[in-house]
Chain A
């Protein structure tokens, strides 16, 4: 029954393909972006939780890539 209902909605077959395409483009973008980040920056970011108390200097000093 549902197949019949949905077949009557124009272009319903595209939904699945479009969904996967959106995801593929999005995920590839994130991947490229993450890979392009400098390792120095990533190291500084990773160190953030360890520097939370009584830190007199902000982290921005350390990022000079």
Chain B
């Protein structure tokens, strides 16, 4: 026999493992700070770089792309080599993947606090970093496919299918959603506007959860669970149905993030139906995982690796049941914009991704260092502290979410809003925010215990940079195989054919949803009174984006009486045609701002930004006093207006060279005069002036010509 001897690369696995631990702790710590700022707004020490609006995306990016991302690479680089009976395709590409990914994370950690953001959730990084992500991802994909092509094992185990689907789909999603027009090195505008931008963003956002947080980890589950339990997966047949069912259905469900918005009705219903259908493959996968442990539950009692896995898989099941339920329109009308969404996201993040990552780390460190885990007892402590942490996090936040939803919708028997002041509803749930931070602290403490345990494990063993293995390449052994070439075997024997079919499966859903998007583009009735933003408003809007205001304030009034009573006329698609990017938001910690313009005098906004509690006692909004002193970046105006014109906003050619500046100064002078009437003295060249200009513009266009819009309903 032609037995070949080769070595698995453990160095790369260790590198990703260490990065996972470090970034996990960093990401969770940032989350803690954000959580504290929600009940103690002064926790940012009046530093703009760590205000809630700027660190919320830092937290989500750190946890998703740094913690789970590194965890995913760690698991894939370990499992793939062993499943393919081959070293990674190229060591150079492996290390390029590693250092490239870390560089991206570091650049995110620098740019997000500085306020460089596109504002699109989970895609906030500015265009140069987006390009870097695409390059590193392509390198990872080449390394993955290269390894599969040079494998010695003929059959592609189901885990590899999940890895392939992940690599390809994330590439498609990232590129589609990253279409932006640069205005400068760290500023760009989305090529899409308003409704189209929202559709593409949530098609991306939903599937980023599917194909970054779910499919790679399912692949890892199919590898690490049998390894840890030392028994094959309960049903391989079920795993095949799980895979195809999941990747096919997931991509259709994106519209459930936009229920009751300006999205077409049929797309909303389709998103809802496909979301409900998702329960079947998701629960098939969960049961497949849990049933693998049948007859081995005694092991679960003793082995912390299995303990973490069982909770992770159960959390996966719970989150994938809850998600579809939240996609039912009537449930969504209550849950959307509330903390319920935050609770849902964290049941997946803390339970499924977090606990599964911990289980892999506890499994891998002793293997990599050729030793036993330093302390099983400490790992058990981590397990219980982590589980308590999840409970203390989730229960208060669910209570907060449902409370908010009910209070927003509550009418008195005379037909008036019971809680007309939005602030009342938030003050009501502040004690829940406090409790939530206790849960977060416990969870973080558990992760720190793990880091210490893993460090001691590493110290007590000897790192094995390469593991030697032997196998006969299947091509050489093919002569002894008498297997009939059935379709499936042929398929998984040909990774490229398989890859094409998987891409077709995910693209069908994407295409069916995106075609109407382009149709809408040509059919959105323009509202003649909706005009492009003035130069001062453009700069104000950019400040709104920089400060991450949409982390707490939506700009999308849904067609419910409870919303129109509180905020005014519901939002129309035609109002957003010049919004590059859309700023609808997904969360309300403060009131919706879609019709904010003209509600308060300029001086109110000035004082409110300086100290929100001076105008709104009990507000949890941070102070934005730097806006009062920092000079407006007027030099950036020509580049920005030109970029906006290139994406379709009809500014006249040459407007940015002179006329725009004059308009800007005139509007600023007007605002300064208004402020003076409110006993506020301000200079016209400060950032606050631009922000006030933008806030006062919000939702006012439609008021100028109500007759046109009403015929479109």
27 A-B pairs, CB-CB below 8 angstroms? A1-B262, A2-B573, A5-B264, A6-B264, A9-B516, A9-B523, A15-B267, A19-B252, A19-B512, A22-B512, A23-B274, A26-B248, A27-B248, A30-B244, A34-B241, A37-B237, A43-B236, A44-B155, A47-B232, A48-B155, A49-B83, A50-B231, A54-B470, A59-B153, A59-B154, A60-B483, A61-B480
Interface residues of B in 257-304 (CB under 8 A from A): 262-267, 269-270, 273-274, 277
Q: Is B679 an interface residue (CB 8 A)?
A: no
A46 vs B234: C-alpha distance when bound (angstroms): 8
Which residue of B3, B233, B469, B524 is within 8 Å of A46 (Cβ)? B233
A58 vs B264: C-alpha distance when bound (angstroms): 53
Q: How many residues of B contact A (CB 8 A)?
A: 77
Chain A, residues 1-39, CB within 8 Å of chain B (1/0): the string is: 111111011001101101110110011001101111100
Q: Is B572 an interface residue (CB 8 A)?
A: yes
Residues of A within 8 A of B508 (CB): 22
A16 vs B267: C-alpha distance when bound (angstroms): 8
Would you give the shortest CB distance from B664 to chain A, in whole angstroms?
33
Residues of B within 8 A of A30 (CB): 240-241, 244-245
Residues of B within 8 A of A48 (CB): 83, 153, 155, 157
Chain B at the A interface: SS class: helix
The chain A residue with its CB closest to the CB of B469 is A54
Interface residues of B in 551-589 (CB under 8 A from A): 572-574
Using a CB–CB distance below 8 Å, which chain B residues touch chain A? 1, 3, 79, 82-83, 85, 152-155, 157-159, 222-223, 226-227, 230-233, 235-237, 240-241, 244-245, 248-249, 252, 262-267, 269-270, 273-274, 277, 467-474, 477-478, 480-484, 486-489, 505, 508-509, 512, 516, 519-520, 523-525, 572-574, 709, 712-713
A24 vs B575: C-alpha distance when bound (angstroms): 38
A49 close to B223 (CB less than 8 A): yes
Residues of B within 8 A of A42 (CB): 235-237
Chain A at the B interface: SS class: helix
Residues of B within 8 A of A5 (CB): 264, 520, 523-525
- Knowing A1-B713, A4-B712, A31-B241, say if A61 contacts B481 (CB, 8 Å): yes
Would you give the shortest CB distance from A8 to chain B, in whole angstroms?
6
Residues of B within 8 A of A59 (CB): 153-155, 474
A44 vs B156: C-alpha distance when bound (angstroms): 12
Using a CB–CB distance below 8 Å, which chain A residues touch chain B? 1-6, 8-9, 12-13, 15-16, 18-20, 22-23, 26-27, 30-31, 33-37, 41-50, 52-61, 63-65
Residues of B within 8 A of A49 (CB): 79, 82-83, 157, 159, 222-223, 226-227, 232
B230 close to A50 (CB less than 8 A): yes
Residues of B within 8 A of A22 (CB): 508, 512
Most buried by B among A36, A48, A63: A48
Which residue of B273, B468, B488, B572 is within 8 Å of A37 (Cβ)? B488
B573 close to A58 (CB less than 8 A): no
A51 vs B437: C-alpha distance when bound (angstroms): 44
A58 close to B154 (CB less than 8 A): yes
- Knowing A46-B232, A46-B236, A60-B478, say if A15 contacts B241 (CB, 8 Å): no
Most buried by A among B245, B263, B277, B478: B245
